[in-house]
């Protein structure tokens, strides 16, 4: 028997062709930006009661791309993601707190390098629309900042000034467009 509450939730799959998972971290004096090219996820979204919604995302760590081959190889190594032993980064929601105006706090477990920590993403619902072919789409942007050392990503180099080459804080951004599972 289907309840009224169950019919309000729509399951969406991330449309990778129209989504991105990116990050930025300080390197020396500027910020380096990177992305992951392989990821997938499911969003169960209840428009009427968003707090009943949930999200899961899996990212393939080996697909890290900072537009610099040697750096990307280093990021895949045991100094950072150690993709041989920890091939995925994952996020699973625990709680969604509506903030009004399509804004939410998405709380959940982020696992990187085999370490799981609770994080909160600031999320903005960008809207829902039909594409030119009549397919329903929903879109979100999400952002959080984590300390990479909390996940065992400790490698660094000391500069002559006594400061470090790589910053500890990493900003993670997701720009997600998703389609209903039945589409």
Structure token digits, residue 153: 């990503």
In a domain, 2, yes or no: no
Full domain range(s) for residue 44 = 8-180
In a domain, 88, yes or no: yes
Measure the CA–CA gap between 63 and 76, rounded to whole angstroms.
Answer: 9
In a domain, 104, yes or no: yes
Residue 145 belongs to domain with CATH number = 2.40.128.110
In a domain, 3, yes or no: no
Structure token digits, residue 17: 């062709």
In a domain, 18, yes or no: yes
Structure token digits, residue 91: 């996020």
Summarised one tens digit per residue, pLDDT across range 61-80 is: 999 999 999 999 999 999 89
How many domains does the chain fold into?
1
More reliable by pLDDT, 1 or 116: 116
In a domain, 107, yes or no: yes
Enter the DSSP assignment of 45. E
Measure the CA–CA gap between 76 and 94, rounded to whole angstroms.
Answer: 29
For tokens 């105006």, name the residue: 101
Helices (H), 41-146: 69-76
Farthest-apart Cα atoms in the chain, separation = 68
Measuring CA to CA, how many Å separate 164 from each of 29, 56, 147, 167, 169? 10, 34, 14, 7, 12
In a domain, 81, yes or no: yes
pLDDT at residue 183 tops 70? no
More reliable by pLDDT, 118 or 165: 118
């Amino acid at each position: 028997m289907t309840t009224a509450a169950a019919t309000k939730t729509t399951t969406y799959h991330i449309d990778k062709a129209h989504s991105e998972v990116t990050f930025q971290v300080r390197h020396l004096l500027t910020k380096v930006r990177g992305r992951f090219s392989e990821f997938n996820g499911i969003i169960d979204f209840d428009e009427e009661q968003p707090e009943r919604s949930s999200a899961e995302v899996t990212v393939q760590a080996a697909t890290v791309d900072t537009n610099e081959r040697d750096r990307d190889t280093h990021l895949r190594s045991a100094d950072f993601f150690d993709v041989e032993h920890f091939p995925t980064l994952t996020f699973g929601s625990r709680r969604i707190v509506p903030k009004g105006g399509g804004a939410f706090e998405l709380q959940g477990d982020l696992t990187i390098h085999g370490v799981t920590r609770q994080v909160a993403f600031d999320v903005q619902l960008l809207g829902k629309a039909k594409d030119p072919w009549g397919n329903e789409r929903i879109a979100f942007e999400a952002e959080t900042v984590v300390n990479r050392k909390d996940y065992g990503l400790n490698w660094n180099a000391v500069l002559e000034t006594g400061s470090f080459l790589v910053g500890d804080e990493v900003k993670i951004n997701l720009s997600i467009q998703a389609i209903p599972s039945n589409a």
